[in-house]
Amino acid sequence: MSIESQNVTDYPNSNTIFMVWNLNESPLLKDTFQQLCALVLNLNNSVFNRFPDSRASCVMGIGYEGWKKLELPTPLPKELVNFEEIRGVKHTAVSTPGDLHFHLRADNKSLIFDMAIEISRLLSPVAESILEINGFKYWDTRSILGFVDGTENPHGEDRDYFAKIGEEDLQYKGGSYLFVQKYLHNMDAWKGLSTEEQEKVIGRSKENDIEMSDAVKPSNSHIALANIEGENGEELKIVRDNMPFGRPSSNEFGTYFIAYSSTFTTTKKMLTNMFVGDPVGNYDRILDFSTAVTGTLFFVPTRNMLDEFSG
Ligand code: HEM
Protein backbone atom coordinates (compact mmCIF):
# COMPACT_ATOMS: atom_id res chain seq x y z
CA MET A 1 0.00 0.00 0.00
CA SER A 2 1.31 3.46 -0.81
CA ILE A 3 2.33 5.86 1.95
CA GLU A 4 -0.13 8.71 2.39
CA SER A 5 1.00 11.71 4.42
CA GLN A 6 -1.35 14.00 6.30
CA ASN A 7 -2.00 17.36 4.61
CA VAL A 8 1.30 18.90 5.73
CA THR A 9 2.13 20.44 2.35
CA ASP A 10 -1.24 22.14 1.82
CA TYR A 11 -0.97 25.83 1.03
CA PRO A 12 -2.08 28.40 3.61
CA ASN A 13 -5.81 29.00 3.69
CA SER A 14 -7.92 31.93 4.89
CA ASN A 15 -8.80 30.58 8.33
CA THR A 16 -6.96 28.40 10.80
CA ILE A 17 -7.57 27.01 14.25
CA PHE A 18 -4.54 25.78 16.20
CA MET A 19 -5.16 23.65 19.28
CA VAL A 20 -2.73 22.08 21.76
CA TRP A 21 -3.91 19.50 24.30
CA ASN A 22 -2.24 17.75 27.22
CA LEU A 23 -3.31 14.20 27.98
CA ASN A 24 -4.36 13.20 31.50
CA GLU A 25 -3.82 9.81 33.05
CA SER A 26 -7.09 8.04 32.37
CA PRO A 27 -8.26 4.48 31.80
CA LEU A 28 -10.10 5.85 28.76
CA LEU A 29 -6.98 7.34 27.17
CA LYS A 30 -6.00 4.62 24.73
CA ASP A 31 -9.52 3.94 23.60
CA THR A 32 -10.11 7.66 23.08
CA PHE A 33 -6.91 7.99 21.08
CA GLN A 34 -8.02 5.14 18.80
CA GLN A 35 -11.28 6.99 18.21
CA LEU A 36 -9.40 10.25 17.68
CA CYS A 37 -7.21 8.80 14.92
CA ALA A 38 -10.33 7.49 13.19
CA LEU A 39 -12.00 10.89 13.65
CA VAL A 40 -9.08 12.79 12.08
CA LEU A 41 -9.19 10.53 9.00
CA ASN A 42 -12.98 10.84 8.87
CA LEU A 43 -12.95 14.65 9.14
CA ASN A 44 -10.49 14.95 6.26
CA ASN A 45 -12.31 12.45 4.04
CA SER A 46 -15.66 14.02 4.74
CA VAL A 47 -14.66 17.63 4.10
CA PHE A 48 -12.81 16.61 0.92
CA ASN A 49 -15.91 14.82 -0.30
CA ARG A 50 -18.41 17.51 0.69
CA PHE A 51 -16.45 20.69 -0.01
CA PRO A 52 -13.53 19.80 -2.33
CA ASP A 53 -12.90 23.44 -3.23
CA SER A 54 -12.57 24.57 0.38
CA ARG A 55 -9.05 23.08 0.68
CA ALA A 56 -9.98 22.27 4.28
CA SER A 57 -7.96 19.84 6.36
CA CYS A 58 -7.04 18.73 9.83
CA VAL A 59 -3.45 17.72 10.65
CA MET A 60 -2.66 16.05 13.98
CA GLY A 61 0.81 16.03 15.55
CA ILE A 62 1.98 14.10 18.62
CA GLY A 63 4.60 15.39 21.09
CA TYR A 64 7.33 13.34 22.76
CA GLU A 65 5.54 13.08 26.12
CA GLY A 66 2.27 12.31 24.37
CA TRP A 67 3.92 9.51 22.38
CA LYS A 68 5.12 7.96 25.66
CA LYS A 69 1.81 8.39 27.48
CA LEU A 70 0.02 6.68 24.59
CA GLU A 71 2.66 3.92 24.45
CA LEU A 72 3.02 4.33 20.69
CA PRO A 73 5.59 2.21 18.80
CA THR A 74 9.30 2.23 19.60
CA PRO A 75 11.85 3.18 18.47
CA LEU A 76 10.39 6.68 18.24
CA PRO A 77 10.76 8.84 15.15
CA LYS A 78 14.50 9.62 15.16
CA GLU A 79 14.24 13.32 15.98
CA LEU A 80 11.18 13.32 18.25
CA VAL A 81 12.35 14.75 21.58
CA ASN A 82 11.20 17.41 24.00
CA PHE A 83 12.27 20.69 22.44
CA GLU A 84 15.14 22.18 24.48
CA GLU A 85 15.00 25.93 24.88
CA ILE A 86 17.48 27.99 22.88
CA ARG A 87 18.88 30.85 24.91
CA GLY A 88 20.59 33.82 23.30
CA VAL A 89 22.15 36.86 24.94
CA LYS A 90 18.86 38.74 24.85
CA HIS A 91 16.06 36.44 23.68
CA THR A 92 15.03 32.87 24.43
CA ALA A 93 13.14 30.33 22.35
CA VAL A 94 11.23 28.84 25.28
CA SER A 95 10.15 25.21 25.49
CA THR A 96 6.55 24.52 26.55
CA PRO A 97 4.55 21.29 26.90
CA GLY A 98 2.06 19.84 24.42
CA ASP A 99 0.95 16.24 23.81
CA LEU A 100 -1.28 16.74 20.77
CA HIS A 101 -1.38 19.54 18.20
CA PHE A 102 -4.16 20.23 15.71
CA HIS A 103 -3.76 22.43 12.64
CA LEU A 104 -7.16 23.03 11.05
CA ARG A 105 -7.33 25.01 7.79
CA ALA A 106 -10.22 26.11 5.59
CA ASP A 107 -11.44 28.96 3.46
CA ASN A 108 -14.71 29.02 5.40
CA LYS A 109 -14.30 29.15 9.15
CA SER A 110 -17.50 27.16 9.75
CA LEU A 111 -15.77 24.03 8.49
CA ILE A 112 -12.90 24.13 10.97
CA PHE A 113 -15.08 25.40 13.78
CA ASP A 114 -17.14 22.22 13.51
CA MET A 115 -14.00 20.08 13.27
CA ALA A 116 -12.69 21.70 16.47
CA ILE A 117 -16.01 20.96 18.19
CA GLU A 118 -15.81 17.25 17.29
CA ILE A 119 -12.18 16.95 18.40
CA SER A 120 -12.83 18.80 21.66
CA ARG A 121 -15.91 16.75 22.45
CA LEU A 122 -13.90 13.56 22.11
CA LEU A 123 -10.79 14.75 23.94
CA SER A 124 -12.31 16.71 26.84
CA PRO A 125 -12.85 13.70 29.16
CA VAL A 126 -9.16 12.64 28.89
CA ALA A 127 -7.20 15.83 28.11
CA GLU A 128 -6.85 19.52 28.87
CA SER A 129 -6.86 22.21 26.24
CA ILE A 130 -3.78 24.40 26.79
CA LEU A 131 -3.89 26.58 23.69
CA GLU A 132 -6.43 27.58 21.07
CA ILE A 133 -5.65 30.23 18.50
CA ASN A 134 -7.80 31.46 15.67
CA GLY A 135 -5.49 32.59 12.89
CA PHE A 136 -6.63 34.47 9.82
CA LYS A 137 -5.28 35.53 6.46
CA TYR A 138 -4.39 39.20 6.82
CA TRP A 139 -4.65 41.09 3.52
CA ASP A 140 -2.37 39.52 0.86
CA THR A 141 -0.85 36.98 3.32
CA ARG A 142 0.80 39.69 5.43
CA SER A 143 2.00 39.03 8.93
CA ILE A 144 0.58 41.32 11.56
CA LEU A 145 3.84 43.29 11.22
CA GLY A 146 2.62 44.34 7.76
CA PHE A 147 5.14 42.32 5.69
CA VAL A 148 4.15 39.55 3.28
CA ASP A 149 4.93 36.22 4.95
CA GLY A 150 5.56 32.94 3.13
CA THR A 151 7.14 34.17 -0.13
CA GLU A 152 10.28 32.01 -0.01
CA ASN A 153 8.43 28.83 0.93
CA PRO A 154 9.26 25.83 -1.28
CA HIS A 155 6.91 24.90 -4.14
CA GLY A 156 6.18 21.81 -6.24
CA GLU A 157 8.22 18.69 -5.47
CA ASP A 158 10.44 20.72 -3.13
CA ARG A 159 7.49 21.02 -0.78
CA ASP A 160 7.40 17.25 -0.28
CA TYR A 161 11.18 17.01 -0.14
CA PHE A 162 11.55 19.60 2.60
CA ALA A 163 8.42 18.71 4.61
CA LYS A 164 8.34 14.90 4.65
CA ILE A 165 10.64 12.28 6.13
CA GLY A 166 12.37 10.20 3.44
CA GLU A 167 14.49 7.06 3.37
CA GLU A 168 16.54 8.18 6.39
CA ASP A 169 13.89 6.89 8.82
CA LEU A 170 12.04 4.15 6.92
CA GLN A 171 9.66 3.27 9.72
CA TYR A 172 8.39 6.85 9.77
CA LYS A 173 8.74 7.71 6.07
CA GLY A 174 6.10 10.19 4.94
CA GLY A 175 5.78 11.63 8.45
CA SER A 176 6.90 15.15 9.30
CA TYR A 177 8.34 17.20 12.16
CA LEU A 178 6.08 20.03 13.21
CA PHE A 179 7.46 22.93 15.22
CA VAL A 180 5.25 25.69 16.58
CA GLN A 181 5.74 28.93 18.50
CA LYS A 182 3.21 31.50 19.63
CA TYR A 183 4.75 34.98 19.30
CA LEU A 184 3.39 38.19 20.79
CA HIS A 185 4.43 41.44 19.15
CA ASN A 186 5.17 44.79 20.71
CA MET A 187 3.25 46.75 18.10
CA ASP A 188 3.78 50.11 19.78
CA ALA A 189 7.56 49.70 19.47
CA TRP A 190 7.21 48.29 15.93
CA LYS A 191 5.06 51.17 14.78
CA GLY A 192 7.62 53.54 16.28
CA LEU A 193 10.02 52.48 13.48
CA SER A 194 9.92 54.14 10.07
CA THR A 195 9.07 51.90 7.12
CA GLU A 196 12.73 51.98 6.10
CA GLU A 197 13.82 50.79 9.54
CA GLN A 198 11.19 48.03 9.53
CA GLU A 199 12.43 46.90 6.12
CA LYS A 200 15.93 46.56 7.55
CA VAL A 201 14.54 44.33 10.32
CA ILE A 202 12.91 41.96 7.84
CA GLY A 203 15.31 42.28 4.89
CA ARG A 204 12.57 42.88 2.29
CA SER A 205 10.56 45.85 1.07
CA LYS A 206 7.23 46.31 2.80
CA GLU A 207 4.86 47.27 0.04
CA ASN A 208 6.16 45.16 -2.83
CA ASP A 209 7.81 42.28 -0.93
CA ILE A 210 11.14 42.49 -2.75
CA GLU A 211 14.26 41.01 -1.17
CA MET A 212 17.09 43.45 -0.42
CA SER A 213 20.36 42.84 -2.23
CA ASP A 214 23.09 41.25 -0.13
CA ALA A 215 24.99 44.54 -0.25
CA VAL A 216 22.29 46.40 1.70
CA LYS A 217 20.55 43.61 3.65
CA PRO A 218 21.62 43.87 7.31
CA SER A 219 23.25 40.71 8.70
CA ASN A 220 20.82 40.78 11.65
CA SER A 221 17.71 41.01 9.44
CA HIS A 222 15.21 38.17 9.73
CA ILE A 223 15.75 36.71 6.29
CA ALA A 224 19.54 36.98 6.48
CA LEU A 225 19.49 34.75 9.57
CA ALA A 226 16.61 32.43 8.61
CA ASN A 227 18.04 31.67 5.16
CA ILE A 228 20.46 28.80 5.81
CA GLU A 229 22.61 26.41 3.80
CA GLY A 230 23.68 22.80 4.26
CA GLU A 231 27.27 21.55 4.37
CA ASN A 232 27.51 21.47 0.58
CA GLY A 233 26.13 24.95 0.14
CA GLU A 234 22.62 23.76 -0.76
CA GLU A 235 19.72 25.86 0.52
CA LEU A 236 17.78 24.28 3.40
CA LYS A 237 14.07 25.01 3.62
CA ILE A 238 11.04 24.28 5.75
CA VAL A 239 7.33 24.57 4.88
CA ARG A 240 5.84 27.45 6.86
CA ASP A 241 2.19 28.40 7.35
CA ASN A 242 2.38 31.25 9.88
CA MET A 243 -0.89 32.91 10.79
CA PRO A 244 -1.60 36.28 12.38
CA PHE A 245 -3.99 36.49 15.30
CA GLY A 246 -5.05 39.29 17.59
CA ARG A 247 -7.47 40.99 19.92
CA PRO A 248 -7.20 44.70 19.11
CA SER A 249 -9.26 45.82 22.10
CA SER A 250 -6.73 44.11 24.42
CA ASN A 251 -3.73 45.33 22.41
CA GLU A 252 -2.76 41.70 21.75
CA PHE A 253 -1.17 41.00 18.38
CA GLY A 254 0.66 37.87 17.44
CA THR A 255 2.03 35.41 14.95
CA TYR A 256 1.55 31.67 15.28
CA PHE A 257 4.74 30.31 13.72
CA ILE A 258 4.25 26.83 12.30
CA ALA A 259 6.65 24.81 10.18
CA TYR A 260 6.75 21.28 8.82
CA SER A 261 10.12 19.73 8.00
CA SER A 262 11.66 16.42 6.98
CA THR A 263 14.27 16.97 9.68
CA PHE A 264 13.98 19.07 12.81
CA THR A 265 17.71 19.85 12.48
CA THR A 266 16.90 22.45 9.79
CA THR A 267 14.32 24.27 11.91
CA LYS A 268 16.62 24.12 14.94
CA LYS A 269 19.47 25.64 12.98
CA MET A 270 17.23 28.52 11.89
CA LEU A 271 16.13 29.05 15.49
CA THR A 272 19.73 29.04 16.70
CA ASN A 273 20.69 31.60 14.05
CA MET A 274 17.77 33.78 15.08
CA PHE A 275 18.07 33.57 18.87
CA VAL A 276 21.79 33.00 19.47
CA GLY A 277 22.89 34.84 16.34
CA ASP A 278 25.39 34.34 13.56
CA PRO A 279 28.02 35.13 14.65
CA VAL A 280 26.98 34.71 18.29
CA GLY A 281 25.34 37.92 19.52
CA ASN A 282 24.23 39.00 16.03
CA TYR A 283 20.65 37.90 16.75
CA ASP A 284 17.51 38.44 14.66
CA ARG A 285 16.15 41.98 15.08
CA ILE A 286 12.59 40.68 14.62
CA LEU A 287 12.93 39.33 18.18
CA ASP A 288 13.22 42.83 19.63
CA PHE A 289 9.55 43.20 18.61
CA SER A 290 8.37 39.58 18.95
CA THR A 291 8.42 37.37 22.06
CA ALA A 292 8.10 33.61 21.78
CA VAL A 293 5.74 32.53 24.58
CA THR A 294 5.48 28.87 23.52
CA GLY A 295 7.73 26.42 21.66
CA THR A 296 6.90 22.75 21.07
CA LEU A 297 8.00 19.99 18.72
CA PHE A 298 5.57 17.36 17.40
CA PHE A 299 5.72 14.43 15.01
CA VAL A 300 3.01 14.17 12.36
CA PRO A 301 2.28 10.51 11.56
CA THR A 302 1.16 9.44 8.10
CA ARG A 303 -2.47 8.64 7.38
CA ASN A 304 -1.45 4.98 7.25
CA MET A 305 -0.14 5.24 10.82
CA LEU A 306 -3.35 6.96 11.95
CA ASP A 307 -5.25 4.08 10.40
CA GLU A 308 -3.11 1.56 12.35
CA PHE A 309 -3.44 3.54 15.58
CA SER A 310 -7.22 3.63 15.16
CA GLY A 311 -7.19 -0.15 15.52
C1 HEM B 1 7.61 36.43 14.81
C2 HEM B 1 7.57 35.38 14.05
C3 HEM B 1 7.92 35.45 12.59
C4 HEM B 1 7.46 36.33 11.65
C5 HEM B 1 6.46 37.46 11.83
C6 HEM B 1 8.11 35.98 10.41
C7 HEM B 1 7.94 36.66 9.21
C8 HEM B 1 8.64 36.41 8.07
C9 HEM B 1 8.60 37.22 6.87
C10 HEM B 1 7.74 38.47 6.71
C11 HEM B 1 9.43 36.66 5.96
C12 HEM B 1 9.74 37.16 4.53
C13 HEM B 1 8.87 36.54 3.47
C14 HEM B 1 9.01 35.06 3.30
O15 HEM B 1 9.88 34.57 2.58
O16 HEM B 1 8.24 34.36 3.94
C17 HEM B 1 10.01 35.49 6.57
C18 HEM B 1 10.89 34.63 5.95
C19 HEM B 1 11.38 33.49 6.52
N20 HEM B 1 11.20 33.07 7.81
FE21 HEM B 1 10.12 34.02 9.24
N22 HEM B 1 8.92 34.89 10.62
C23 HEM B 1 8.85 34.55 11.94
C24 HEM B 1 9.51 33.53 12.57
C25 HEM B 1 10.32 32.61 11.93
C26 HEM B 1 10.95 31.49 12.57
C27 HEM B 1 10.85 31.14 14.07
C28 HEM B 1 11.63 30.80 11.59
C29 HEM B 1 12.45 29.54 11.65
C30 HEM B 1 12.59 28.75 12.69
C31 HEM B 1 11.41 31.52 10.34
C32 HEM B 1 11.91 31.12 9.12
C33 HEM B 1 11.83 31.87 7.97
C34 HEM B 1 12.45 31.48 6.72
C35 HEM B 1 13.21 30.20 6.42
C36 HEM B 1 12.19 32.51 5.80
C37 HEM B 1 12.65 32.60 4.34
C38 HEM B 1 14.06 33.13 4.29
C39 HEM B 1 14.55 33.24 2.85
O40 HEM B 1 14.92 32.21 2.30
O41 HEM B 1 14.52 34.35 2.32
N42 HEM B 1 10.63 32.60 10.59
N43 HEM B 1 9.52 35.36 7.85
CA-based radius of gyration for the chain: 19
Whether 218 lines ligand 1, by a CB cut-off of 6 Å, is no
For residue 223, how far is its CA from the centre of ligand 1 (angstroms)?
6
Taking residue 3's Cβ as centre, other Cβ atoms within 10 Å add up to 13
Can you list the residues of the chain whose pLDDT is less than 70? none
Instruction: Give yes or no for a contact between 255 and 135, defined as CB atoms under 8 angstroms apart.
Output: no
Instruction: Report the alpha-carbon distance of residue 135 to residue 17 in Å, rounded.
Output: 6
Report the pLDDT value the prediction gives residue 208, as an integer from 0 to 100: 98
Q: What residue spans define the domains of the chain?
A: 15-309
Which are the catalytic amino acids?
149
Q: What is the pTM of this model?
A: 0.98
What DSSP line would sit under 116-167, residue for residue? HHHHHHHHTTTEEEEEEEEEE-BTTTB-TTSSB--TT---HHHHHHHHS--G
Apex 58 CA angle, 179 and 86, nearest 5: 10
Whether 111 lines ligand 1, by a CB cut-off of 6 Å, is no
User: Residue 21: which of 56, 58, 62 has the closest Cα?
Assistant: 62
Which residues share a beta bridge with 58?
Answer: 104
Instruction: Please report the atom of ligand 1 found closest to the CA of residue 181.
Output: 27
Report the pLDDT value the prediction gives residue 1, as an integer from 0 to 100: 78
- With the most atoms of ligand 1 within 8 angstroms of its CB, the residue from 183, 213, 223, 241 to mutate is 223
Write the pLDDT tens digit of every residue in 149-177.
999 999 999 999 999 999 999 999 999 99
Report the pLDDT value the prediction gives residue 127, as an integer from 0 to 100: 98
